[in-house]
Amino acid sequence: MTIPFFPPDLFEADRPLIHDLVFEAGTTNRFMLKDHVAALEDGFRRATGAADAIAVSSGTFAVLVALKAAGVGPGDEVIVQAYCCQPVASQVIALGATPVFVDVTADTMVMDPARVEERITPRTRAILPAHLFSCLVDMAPLRDIARRHGLVIVEDACVQQGATQDGVAAGRLGDVGTFSFFQVKAMGGCGEGGMIVTDDPEIGRRCRMLRNHGQDGATRFLHHIIGFNSRMDEIMAGFLNHRLARFDDILRSRARIAASYTERLSVLGNRITLPPPGVEGRCYYIYAVQSPDRDALRAFLLDRGIATHIYYPRILPHQRAFAAYADPRDRLDTAIRAARQNLALPIYPHMTDAQADAVVDGVLAFHTRH
């Protein structure tokens, strides 16, 4: 049995809809920021409970626009986790600010709130926690730190759409939150897209202007601030409205597969680190395990036709692009270990039970031989 990491048939059932949307939106002058976008923003306000939702062209732009709207600019420092996807660092740098890297926790591999306060300086402006894999950053201690130091929290919920913590939707656990609709995300679009949610009217107003060249949406060619072209088009929004209507089912299917992985793999004890258990309030976008024999396990699974993925092979300050921002005071041992040990197993909503069993059988078989 061959099990790809990214299934090739994610959009097959949606083919007629995509064709219609391309023709309808792509061939008229109502191709962006019109009814489908407004409906999607409304859907996100309802789904998250946020006062405002602003659709943008990608998760990366969502992070950039949210940071700028929250007041991050040249000379500021922003605390980010060292083990993460690159937008948390690159978008801070794009605004002339400096990313300050902190370590992650051993079991979740996301920002460790206990390591944040020691890196706060008079220049610190924001904390940018990113939820990753199926794990949310523990946000209550971060809110406490932010309150005491007068910092803003930009919450990168790009991969945790639909998750909750203490009954509050991901994206609303800080001052402004971001989502990504990159094709293979839990609510992937047929291309790229992103969303920002916030309860702060001024941040919301600024996001709306920043995504569209600093215009206010009422009068064209009047530019109030310097912005970007980060508009969402109507094709993407029309498709995402269709996905949003079925999103709870998608989350449930992913959680069911994750629960079966956790249940069966638990017999391995401390030979492998599983994501902390828990189905409630989690988006199993990725099922990531940590193995000291990661590369051998990966090769073994591939031999059996099971593709896996490594998010991320190197921590950010060890990447050439961000080397200038590495600091000798960085204590990033847990992040470094996570980059060496992390292995993402395939998980997608239409995976069959036989496929899910084959993935677990493969991991178990590796451990009986090694």
Ligand X SMILES: Cc1ncc(COP(=O)(O)O)c(C=O)c1O
Cβ–Cβ under 8 Å, residues 207 and 187: no
| Exposure class string for 65-95: b at 16+ Cβ within 10 A, else e | bbbbbbebeeebbbbbbbbbbebbbbbbbeb
Residue of 32, 40, 159, 176 that binds ligand X (CB under 6 A):
159
* Cα 356-6-316 angle, rounded to 5 deg: 110
Contact between 85 and ligand X per CB under 6 A: yes
Looking at the Cβ atoms of 180 and 290, the one nearer to ligand X is 180
The interface region with ligand X, picked from 36-44, 156-164, 272-280, 344-352 by CB under 6 A, is 156-164
Under rule CB under 6 A, which residues in 23-42 are in contact with ligand X?
Answer: none
Rounded least distance, CB 180 to ligand X, Å:
3
Contact between 59 and ligand X per CB under 6 A: yes
Rounded least distance, CB 288 to ligand X, Å:
12
Contact between 158 and ligand X per CB under 6 A: yes
| Phi, psi (degrees; rounded to nearest 5) at 355 | -65, -45
Contact between 161 and ligand X per CB under 6 A: no
The interface region with ligand X, picked from 58-66, 198-206, 218-226, 331-339 by CB under 6 A, is 58-66
Residue of 48, 60, 81, 215 that binds ligand X (CB under 6 A):
60
Cβ–Cβ under 8 Å, residues 203 and 197: no
Rounded least distance, CB 91 to ligand X, Å:
8
Contact between 233 and ligand X per CB under 6 A: no
- CA 303 – CA 357 distance, rounded (Å): 16
Residue 68 bears catalytic tag: no
Rounded least distance, CB 159 to ligand X, Å:
5
Catalytic residue among 125, 131, 185, 208: 185
Rounded least distance, CB 312 to ligand X, Å:
9
Cβ–Cβ under 8 Å, residues 109 and 82: no
Rounded least distance, CB 10 to ligand X, Å:
16
The interface region with ligand X, picked from 67-75, 142-150, 152-160, 301-309 by CB under 6 A, is 152-160
Contact between 58 and ligand X per CB under 6 A: yes
Residue of 41, 52, 155, 156 that binds ligand X (CB under 6 A):
156
- CA 21 – CA 11 distance, rounded (Å): 14
Looking at the Cβ atoms of 130 and 186, the one nearer to ligand X is 130
Residue 357 exposed, middle or buried by CB count within 10 Å (0-12, 13-18, 19+): middle
**Antiparallel, parallel or unpaired: β 164-165 and 168-169:** antiparallel
Question: How many residues interact with ligand X (rule CB under 6 A)?
Answer: 15
Under rule CB under 6 A, which residues in 179-198 are in contact with ligand X?
Answer: 180, 182, 192, 194
The two three-digit tokens of residue 21, written as one number = 């949307």
**Residue, CB closest to ligand X:** 59
| DSSP run (H or E) holding 318 | none
Rounded least distance, CB 338 to ligand X, Å:
14
Looking at the Cβ atoms of 184 and 336, the one nearer to ligand X is 184
Looking at the Cβ atoms of 158 and 359, the one nearer to ligand X is 158
Q: At what angle do helices 15-26 and 234-245 cross, to 10 degrees?
A: 150
Contact between 87 and ligand X per CB under 6 A: yes
Looking at the Cβ atoms of 236 and 251, the one nearer to ligand X is 236
| Exposure class string for 130-149: b at 16+ Cβ within 10 A, else e | bbbbbbbbbbeebbebbeee
Q: Where are the alpha helices (DSSP H) in the chain?
A: 15-26, 35-48, 59-69, 87-94, 139-149, 201-210, 234-245, 247-265, 294-303, 333-341, 353-369
Please spell the DSSP secondary structure of 244-312, one letter per residue.
HHTHHHHHHHHHHHHHHHHHHHGGGGGGSBPPPP--TT---S-EEEE-TTHHHHHHHHHHTTB--B-S-
Under rule CB under 6 A, which residues in 121-140 are in contact with ligand X?
Answer: 130, 132
Would you tell me which residues interact with ligand X (CB under 6 A)? 58-60, 63, 85, 87, 130, 132, 156, 158-159, 180, 182, 192, 194
Active site (catalytic) residues:
185
